[in-house]
Structure 1
C-alpha cells in the first residue's frame, strides 16, 4: 500500500469525510513560498498553511531558533517553572500588543486561547460576585474555533457547528456587521448589538468578535467603526471585550493587530497561527491587569486552566524569532505591495457572472462565488497550474506568506482567474 492509499484508508484529515475523503497531495519539501509534491510538482502556496507561515517555509532564522532551543531543552512543565524563552516571548507580546494588555497566558492552539478567554471572562465576573453574568454575545458570521466553548460563540446557523447546537451553551448573537471596510460607516449597523446589551447586559460576561475580518465564517471585511462602537458599548454596559486576532494578528490586515484599525484595546486578546510563523502550535490569551487580578479574587484564588504543553520552550523560542522578524518591519512594505497587486489582479474578476463579490484587505484576497465550489475539482485544477489554494464553501481566497514575490502572487491570481473561467463559464 503506497502512502496516498494508506493515508486515504487510515488518516482522517480536517473537515473531510472518513468514507469519501477529499484527495490529498503528499508534500516532500517546502521552502520560501513553494511546496514540492512527491509527484514532482512545485506549487506556490497561497494559504500560508492556514494563515500561519507568514515568513514562508524553511526560514533560516526560525530554523536556527528551533535548533538552538532543542539542543538546550525542548520542554519543561510550566507549573512552578519558568524559562527564558517564555519570559522573552511574554515581554515582547506585552510590548507590541495594544495598550493595557499586560498579562499573558500561553496556550496550545487558537481554539484553546478562545476557551481560555471565555473561562477568564466567566471566572472574572464570578469572582466579583456576579456569577449571573455567564453568557456571551457575538456578531453572526463569526468563527472562533472547533472546541466546545469556541463553537458556542461561532455563528449558530451559518457556522460549521449546527450539528452540536443541542450540546452547546446558548449565547446571544447580533446580526453580522453590514458596512464593508471601505464603505461610509452606517451607525445603524451597531443598533442590534446595542439592543441586546441594553436588555441583557446583566447576564452577559463578554462580547467576542474578530476585529475587521470575519475569517472562516465567510471572509467578511467590515468597518472598523463597528469594532470601535463595540468597545464603547462594552464600557457603557460593563461587559468585557474579547478580540479574537488568531487569524489577523501580526500584520495580515496592514496593521500589526486588526483592532488598531479601530484604535481600540480589548480587555482580552487571543493570538495564534502566525505567532510561531507556522512552525509549532502555540497561542496566547492576553488580558488587562484588571481582568487578571479580578479573576483571582476569593475562591478558588487561581485561574482554573493549565495546558500540559503551556509555555513549551521550543515553541516560545521559535515565536520569539518570528516576532523579531516581524519587528524588523519588512511586513510594513510587503503588505501594501501585496494588497495593491491583489486589487489590480483580483478585482477585475467581478466581471464573471459566476462571481458574487471580490474583496481585498492587506494580504487577504477573497473571491466569493455565487455557488459553492467543488473543492476536489478546483483543487486539482490549481495543482495542475502549479499553485496551492484551498477554497471552502463559496469562497476562493488567498492569504500568502508575506515574502511572496510579485510573479509568484500573479501565478496565484492567474490560477484563480483560469479556474473560474474554465470551471464556471459565463
Structure 2
C-alpha cells in the first residue's frame, strides 16, 4: 500500500497527538511500515534514523529480539487479568526489581507518564489527609510546587504542576494552581557563574518559599537533572541534594519525575542517583518497557504506604486503571531490565556518549550556543529569529532520512542506546546539513 493511501486514510480517521491537524495539509504525515534497530521504514521503503527514540521511549532499538521474545512467551500464558483482587508473577517480579533499583517500594502501575504524575500527586495529597484524620488540627498540606518551565504531563492534575504555556493556558480554569520555583537550568546563569553556584542560588529561593509556605505544601515535584520539554534544560545535581534537605526539614514530599530521564538516559540508572538522594515518590514510564508497550509506575516509601493501610476502605488509595500491571507490559519491562543487567549498558553508554560529543564538535561551525549533554541526552540551541525554525528543521532532516523533533530553537538527540558509530556519524552530519539549510 502506498504512502499516499495510508496518510489519506489517517487524515480521515485519526486525531494525532500534540498536533494542529490542519498543518498536515502542508506537512504530510509519514506512514511508517516497520522498524529495525535505530531505523524506521515508511511504506515505500525509505528509512529514517530515529534520533529521538520515538518520543524518548525506545532504548534498545526497534524490533529487538529479546523484548519481542519476552512478550511472545508471556502471550502464551496470560495476556491480562485485573490487578484488583488478583496478582501474577510478572508484576511481582517487576515490582521487586524496581524496588531494589530505586530504594522505594510497593509499585503502583498505570499506562503512561501523565497518569504516573496523577498517582503521585493524589497519593501525596491523600497521605496528608489521612495524617490529619489521625492528628486533628494538623496543618492542611494540600498544595504543590514545581519548577519554572516544568512539564509533567497533560492530564489535568499533571497540567496543574506544568509550566509550559502552550499546553497549560487553554485549560487554566480547570486546573488546581501551583507555584513555580526558579529553575536551575544553567542556561539562565549569570555570566561567569558556574552551574553549581547557579543551582545553589535557585535552591536558596526554593528554601525561602518553603520556609514560608511549608504548612500548606504537600509536595515538590521535579524533573531530576534535565527538564526535557523545556528544551533539554540541564542543571547541576547539587540542586537535588539541597532540595531533598529542604523537603525533609520542612516535611514536604519530594516527587521525582523520572518519566523521561530514568533508565539510563542521564548516565545513571536514575537521575536521582547523581544527587545521591532518595525521593518520597518516583514516577517511571517511557523507557521502562524499552518502548514496546504502554506502562508507568509510581514507587513510594513504606511510611507513605502504611498511612493507607487500614481497616477503613476510605483510607485506601482508591485509584485504578483497567490495564494496571498488565502482564505483557511487565514482561517487556523485565526483558528491558535484563538487557541492562547482561550488557553493561551504562558503561557502554558512557563510551558512546563520548563518541557523540566528539562528533558534535562539527556543529560549532553553525550559529549555535549552549551545546550540552547529560548521559545519553545531547542538545544545543540554534541562534535564529525564525518562529518556523523547528518545523523547517524537522522537514529538512526528514528529507535526509533523519527524525529530529526540535523544541523551539533547541535541537536535541536522544537516540536508542544501540546506535552504532556509523549511525552517529550520519545523525550528526545530517543534523549539520538540516540546521544549516534553515538558518
Q: TM-score, normalised by structure 1?
A: 0.94
| Cα distance, 1:192 vs structure 2 | 1.4
Q: How far apart, in 1, do the equivalents of 2:361 and 2:314 lie? A: 54
Residue in 2 aligned with 1:183? 195
Q: Deviations over 1:112-156 (max 9, x none)?
A: 011000000000000010572111111111111111111111115
The alignment status of 1:142 with 2:164, answered yes or no, reads no
What do residues 331-363 of structure 1 show as CA deviations (whole Å, max 9, x unaligned)?
A: 12321123212221224424423x232211111
Which of these residues, 208, 216, 223, is aligned with residue 229 of structure 2?
216
Work out whether 1:104 is the aligned partner of 2:107.
yes
Rounded Cα–Cα distance in structure 2 between residues aligned with 1:91 and 1:14 = 34
Tell me how far apart the structure 1 counterparts of residues 374 and 295 of structure 2 sit (CA, whole Å): 25
1:324 corresponds in structure 2 to 338
1:361 maps to 374
Tell which deviates more after alignment, 178-187 or 274-283.
178-187
Deviation at 1:299, TM superposition (A): 6.3
Q: Which residue of 2 aligns with 1:406?
A: 421
Tell me which residue corresponds to 1:240: 253
Q: Kindly indicate whether the alpha-carbon contact (under 8 Å) linking 1:350 and 1:357 is maintained by their aligned counterparts in 2.
A: no
1:388 corresponds, among 397, 403, 412, to 403
- 34-43 or 342-351, which deviates more: 342-351
Match of 2:392 among 377, 387, 397: 377
Q: How far does residue 381 in structure 1 lie from its aligned partner after superposition?
A: 1.8
Q: Please report how far the alpha carbon of residue 295 of structure 1 lies from its aligned counterpart in structure 2 after TM superposition.
A: 3.4
Does the CA-based 8 Å contact 1:179-1:189 persist in structure 2? no
Q: Which runs of 5+ in 1 are unaligned?
A: none
> 1:393 & 1:183 partners in 2: Cα distance?
23
Contact 1:125–1:295 (CA under 8 A) maintained in structure 2: no
Query: Residues 274-322 of structure 1: CA distance to partner in whole angstroms, max 9, x if unpaired?
Result: 1100000000000000011123456612102111100111111111111
User: Structure 1 CA distance, aligned partners of 2:402 and 2:29?
Assistant: 14
Contact 1:364 1:398 survives alignment (8 Å): yes
1:290 counterpart = 2:303 = yes
Partner residue, 2:119? 116
Deviation per CA, 1:176-218, whole angstroms, max 9, x where unpaired?
Answer: 1144698343432212111110111111000100000111122
Instruction: State the partner residue of 1:256.
Output: 269
Are the aligned partners of 2:262 and 2:284 in contact in 1 as well (CA < 8 Å)?
yes
Moved more, 113-122 or 163-172: 163-172
Other-structure match for 2:319: 305
- Please tell me whether the aligned partners of residues 150 and 164 of structure 2 are also in contact (alpha carbons under 8 angstroms): no
Assess if the C-alpha contact under 8 Å between 1:373 and 1:394 holds in 2.
no
Cα distance in 2 for partners of 1:410, 1:162 equals: 40
- Give the SS at the match of 1:92: helix
Hey, which of these two has a bigger chunk of helix by percent?
2
Q: 1:368 to 1:9 in 2, by over 3 A?
A: farther
State the distance in 1 between where 2:186 and 2:403 align.
31
User: How many pairs are equivalent?
Assistant: 420
Unaligned ranges ≥5, structure 2: 133-137
RMSD between aligned alpha carbons? 1.8
